[in-house]
Structure 1
């Protein structure tokens, strides 16, 4: 684990959830401040940034995109995304400053690398209610545009709540029946997909385990189970692309989900840094066409 990565992850989360705090269209200055921070961090890595802007309730909103073009099959695109807004009433440290922090560190790590496939990083806006699963959700706007261009996307990876871990027995909960098949303690990262994305999920899980010894569990589940579709990967399922969510399992583990108490000091930045390492290696494998 690179201590500098852990320190930068902490800084990203503290800026978004500590200094800026609750950020959404109902607090437009904060949403713009979060957008500006993500823009600045991506620009500092040397990327040429593209912004997809649209209006929501009179507030201009932006999805932010950067990418590393592929060398062999550049038309095949792996998308890695995370939403930078937070739900009303919450500073959103785990949900989802943690996902944005990992997105920023992955984009930093990929800058200057050569890969067969294109790797694209997207910071989405307006994921949280009341926009989730609506036409105004940032990833819905983005995914529709991607489908209209008929882009080839072997996999979309949604980074959703990656910062909370608990080794105590009984700290991890599950939907009905799953507790019989998975650990009782919340010290792992989870990869979750719908049934149609099972093959892509299995490839990604193998790639992660080949690159990291960080505890990881995976499950392809019916989309209607609570939590399975609750992030930006759902937008890509809706237009027919394989997609999965990387998560600490949110409310199945984290008691402060969608509350005012979702604050930066509750997260484990050393473990997050190890997750960055594993995700980087896994995505590199997929970007090279491996598994």
Structure 2
């Protein structure tokens, strides 16, 4: 049972976002001290709660980089894995409150909440480095390195969820945009959380959406779409598609809603922490409640042939 009250959770999420976006600010390989400060903060938050933290270390342009992970062993099928991921780097010249301090904040809190929920499957919470340009879809992208290593180990990943911008919501009509044609099928107000996958992950997407709807009354919209539809592949979940794993993105829809996307105005004051807390709580409860379903992890598909 979840014990975190939404107001308390909202305050915790806001604290994380302010540290990452206000105190640290722009964080990437081009500002290595800030990138390392963000990594240190993530490690500090997880170790403070007594969790064992592991790193996948590598160097980019002479700068040490790391994916940071905590794992919670499943109580029924510990050899089958749910990966929750959020990137902690930013684009240049942006403090990255929504993109993606919001996702990291949720990841930090979900890891704590899951400790008391005894999930069926092993859950890995991973903070990824180097999601943003110029590393996106390139070999030094943190999630690409992680997914490649998982495939080489033979990890049985049932589903990967990328937490990509969770904090921006608007109730006014016309505040939500879409790729061509989709606007005829989805709401005009940007007050929902989106769940998006490629077509090959549609079954697993439905599996998780059903769990979320059973755990939360927060409004959501879901779509399994071709990977080439604009925006569908734009986060760390695409690294897992490339290596044959089912994956989906959880998002406030980024540039299709948030006018501050990839700008200096992506600051903590623009986010709605109450709604962000409701989404975070729903995600934790959903992961913990996942029952049998989705694809057989012993029959994961061959890696995608397309080049990222």
> Aligning the two structures, in what range does the TM-score lie when normalised by the shorter sequence?
over 0.9
SS in 2 for 1:123: strand
The answer to whether the 8 Å contact 1:99/1:162 transfers is yes
**What are the equivalent positions in structure 2 for 1:1-291 lying under 5 Å apart?**
2-286=6-290, 288-289=291-292
Deviation at 1:280, TM superposition (A): 1.1
1: CA distance between counterparts of 2:223 and 2:107? 22
Deviations 1:153-179 (A, max 9, x none): 110000000000000000000000000
2: CA distance between counterparts of 1:176 and 1:137? 29
SS in 1 for 2:47: helix
2: CA distance between counterparts of 1:228 and 1:153? 20
1: CA distance between counterparts of 2:222 and 2:267? 27
Deviation at 1:123, TM superposition (A): 0.3
The normalised TM-score by structure 1 is: 0.98
Q: CA RMSD in A?
A: 1.0
SS in 1 for 2:66: strand
The answer to whether the 8 Å contact 2:143/2:239 transfers is yes
The answer to whether the 8 Å contact 1:81/1:123 transfers is yes
Deviations 1:194-234 (A, max 9, x none): 00000001111111111111000000011111110000000
SS in 2 for 1:71: coil
The answer to whether the 8 Å contact 1:82/1:159 transfers is yes
1: CA distance between counterparts of 2:280 and 2:49? 17
Deviation at 1:71, TM superposition (A): 2.5
1: CA distance between counterparts of 2:37 and 2:204? 35
The answer to whether the 8 Å contact 1:45/1:111 transfers is no
Aligned length: 290
The answer to whether the 8 Å contact 2:120/2:289 transfers is no
Deviations 1:94-140 (A, max 9, x none): 00000000000100101244232101100000000000000000000
SS in 2 for 1:284: helix
Deviation at 1:290, TM superposition (A): 6.2
The answer to whether the 8 Å contact 2:119/2:289 transfers is no
The answer to whether the 8 Å contact 2:159/2:247 transfers is yes
Consecutive unaligned residues in structure 1, runs of 5 or more: none
SS in 1 for 2:35: helix
